[in-house]
Structure 1
Amino acid sequence: MALSVLYIGGTGQISLPCVEASLAAGHDVTILNRNKTAVFLPKGVKSLVGDMNDVAYGELAGRRFDVVAQFRLYTPEQMKRDIATFTGATGQYVFVSSASVYEKPVRHYLMTERTKLENKYWQYSRDKIACERLLRDQDKLAYTIVRPSHTVRTATPIQVGNPDGAVRRMIAGKPVIVAGDGSSLWTLTRSVDVETPFVRLLGASAALNDDFHITGDRGFTWNQIDEAIARGFGVEAIHAHVPTETLVRFNKEWEGPLLGDKTWSALFDNSKVKRVTGPFEASEDIDEILRDSVIHAKERLKAPASAESDEDRLVDTIIAAQDGLRP
């Protein structure tokens, strides 16, 4: 059945492939974003320019969409506005949350949708939890919560610091930081592997007023991830293993992304979403998973590097300090 679908966002890591897949499924697709990203949209996609702070955003309440897919919402205040805007204006409101909402470290080796929602370290994740709670605590707007994990397309999945900066270090033969011993297991999922189950959730009655994560079924160590990125550039990865607590002492801003997420192993049971959408396959080949990320990084890195960054100097300082502790 063809649906009218509004994507708020629509050109990001995950949303653009979902827009393309929705169009291929025969849906009538409109996107709303700030039009600041130079992305080629497929023929047939309608585009509205604006963001959630525009007065015109509230006027969306006067339009009717079968589905609203919200990729650009991060705070409870934004969620309150969306509930007010889209109640009565859509049959299904899809909120793209984050798998970082799950408690870390996990108490079971596989996370399910029943895993406790709590993050003591990262405000980003706590805000997503609060947004989910607002949806569950009301009964006028039918919703579906989707929790992607680390999903890749154009970005490079680096554990610590600026991704392009870390890749430049690899190319220059300099070590890159890995938290701990690099053996924790991390799930990477291609955007093209998320699009199929995501689009199958649209308009599905079994998906209403429920939550689902969509990820790959296999994990890789951070050492393996770095090695695969380096392999894509024809170099070797040199790892500098540093305890997470040390990294956070040097840079407090790393606390959320590390202690709130990437330090811990993160593996997922996707059986719940598969019961609703049917089976789907996500690549388990790390080189294939990272292929597009490497292609996009190579394009970005054609630009000449600027002078040594503050972060690059900080990384060298941390590595030197850690090396000074070795016998």
Structure 2
Amino acid sequence: MALSVLYVGGSGQISLPCVEASLAAGHDVTILNRNRTAVPFARGVKTLVGDMNGDAYGELGEKHFDVVAQFRLYTPDQMKRDIATFTGKTGQYVFISSASVYEKPVRHYMMTERTKLENRYWQYSRDKIACEALLRGQDRLAYTIVRPSHTVRTHMPIQVGDPDAAIRRMIGGKPVIVAGDGSSLWTLTRSVDVATPLVRLFGNPAALNEDFHITADRGFTWRQIHEAIARGFGVEAVHAPIPTETLARFNKEWAGPLLGDKSWSALYDNSKVKGVAGPFQASQDIDEILRDSVMHAKERLKAAAPPESDEDRLIDRIIAAQEALRP
């Protein structure tokens, strides 16, 4: 069944493959974005230029879409505006939340949609939880909540610090940090593997007023992830294990993403989404998962290396301080 689908944000890590999957499914696709990307959209996509604070966004309430897929919403105030804008104007509002909303450390080794929603460390995740609560607290706008985990396409998954700077460290033979001993299990999913089941939720009556995560079915240690990245560049990864609490003390900006997410093991049971969207198979080959990310990083790193950053100097200082503690 062909649907009219509005994407709020359509050129991002996850949304661009979803736009392509929607077109392949025969849907009529419109994208609202800020026109700040050189990414060419596929033929047949209609585009509206604007952002969530502009006039073009307010005018969306005058249109009707079968599905609104919201990829760029982060705060409760934004959610309140969307509920007011799209109630009565769409058959299904799809909110892209985050798997970081789940409580960590986990109480069971596999997270399901019944896992408690709580994040004591990261405001980003608490805001996503509050947005979900606003949707569940009303009954006039039919919704579907989707929680991707760490999803890759052009970005590089590094546990601590700027990813491209970390790659330059690897190439230069310098150590990169892992939180703890780097053995926690982390789930990486390709964007293209998220797109197919996500689009199958569009117009699906069984998906209405439900929540789903969409991830790969296995995890890798952060050491394995860094080693695969290094392998893509023909070098070896040298690791510097640092306690997570120490990292958070050195840089408060790392506290939320690490203590609230990336320092814990995160594995997911995808039974619920497979029961509604149908079976799908996300890649479980780490080199395949990272292939596009490595390709894009190689293009970025052709540019001259920037001056050493404050963060890079901080990483050197942390590693030196940890080494000094060794007997």
TM-score interval w.r.t. the shorter chain? over 0.9
Partner of 2:51: 51
- Larger deviation, residues 285-294 vs 53-62: 53-62
3-state DSSP of counterpart to 2:77: helix
3-state DSSP of counterpart to 1:105: coil
Partner of 1:253: 253
Root-mean-square deviation (CA, aligned residues, Å) is 0.4
Structure 1 residue 55: Cα displacement: 2.5
Q: Distance in 1 between matches of 2:175 and 2:124?
A: 29
3-state DSSP of counterpart to 1:48: strand
Deviations 1:104-138 (A, max 9, x none): 10000000000000000000000000000000000
3-state DSSP of counterpart to 1:174: coil
3-state DSSP of counterpart to 1:44: coil
Partner of 1:111: 111
Partner of 1:298: 298
4+ residue runs over 4 A deviation: none
Partner of 1:136: 136
Partner of 1:197: 197
Q: Distance in 2 between matches of 1:321 and 1:72?
A: 39
Q: Distance in 2 between matches of 1:289 and 1:186?
A: 13
User: Identity over the aligned pairs, expressed in percent?
Assistant: 83
Deviations 1:239-284 (A, max 9, x none): 0000001101100110000000000000000000000011000000
Structure 1 residue 57: Cα displacement: 1.2
Residues 35-114 of structure 1 mapped to structure 2, 5 A cutoff: 35-114=35-114
Q: Distance in 1 between matches of 2:219 and 2:308?
A: 33
Equivalent position amino acid for 2:224 in 1 = Q
User: Gaps spanning 5+ residues in structure 2: where?
Assistant: none
Residues 1-40 of structure 1 mapped to structure 2, 5 A cutoff: 1-40=1-40
Deviations 1:138-189 (A, max 9, x none): 0000000000000000000000010000000000110000000000000000
Partner of 1:168: 168
Q: Distance in 2 between matches of 1:100 and 1:83?
A: 23
Equivalent position amino acid for 1:125 in 2 = S
Q: Distance in 1 between matches of 2:173 and 2:29?
A: 46
Q: Distance in 2 between matches of 1:256 and 1:315?
A: 18
Partner of 1:233: 233
Partner of 2:125: 125
Give the count of matched residue pairs: 327
Q: Is 1:155 aligned to 2:152, yes or no?
A: no
Partner of 1:315: 315
Deviations 1:44-77 (A, max 9, x none): 0000000110123111111000000000000000
Equivalent position amino acid for 2:89 in 1 = A
Q: Is 1:278 aligned to 2:278, yes or no?
A: yes
Q: Distance in 2 between matches of 1:37 and 1:78?
A: 23
3-state DSSP of counterpart to 1:139: coil
Q: Distance in 2 between matches of 1:5 and 1:315?
A: 44
Q: Is the 8 A contact 2:20 2:42 kept in 1?
A: yes
3-state DSSP of counterpart to 2:187: strand
Q: Distance in 2 between matches of 1:120 and 1:161?
A: 21
Q: Distance in 2 between matches of 1:273 and 1:260?
A: 24
Q: Distance in 2 between matches of 1:150 and 1:263?
A: 13
Structure 1 residue 38: Cα displacement: 1.1
Q: Is the 8 A contact 2:230 2:237 kept in 1?
A: yes
Q: Distance in 2 between matches of 1:278 and 1:301?
A: 39
Q: Distance in 2 between matches of 1:70 and 1:214?
A: 16
Q: Distance in 1 between matches of 2:255 and 2:299?
A: 30
Q: Distance in 2 between matches of 1:24 and 1:52?
A: 27
3-state DSSP of counterpart to 1:298: helix
Q: Distance in 2 between matches of 1:59 and 1:154?
A: 32
Deviations 1:5-37 (A, max 9, x none): 000000000000000000010000000010101
Equivalent position amino acid for 1:241 in 2 = P
Q: Is the 8 A contact 2:48 2:56 kept in 1?
A: no
TM value normalised by structure 2: 1.00
Structure 1 residue 306: Cα displacement: 1.2
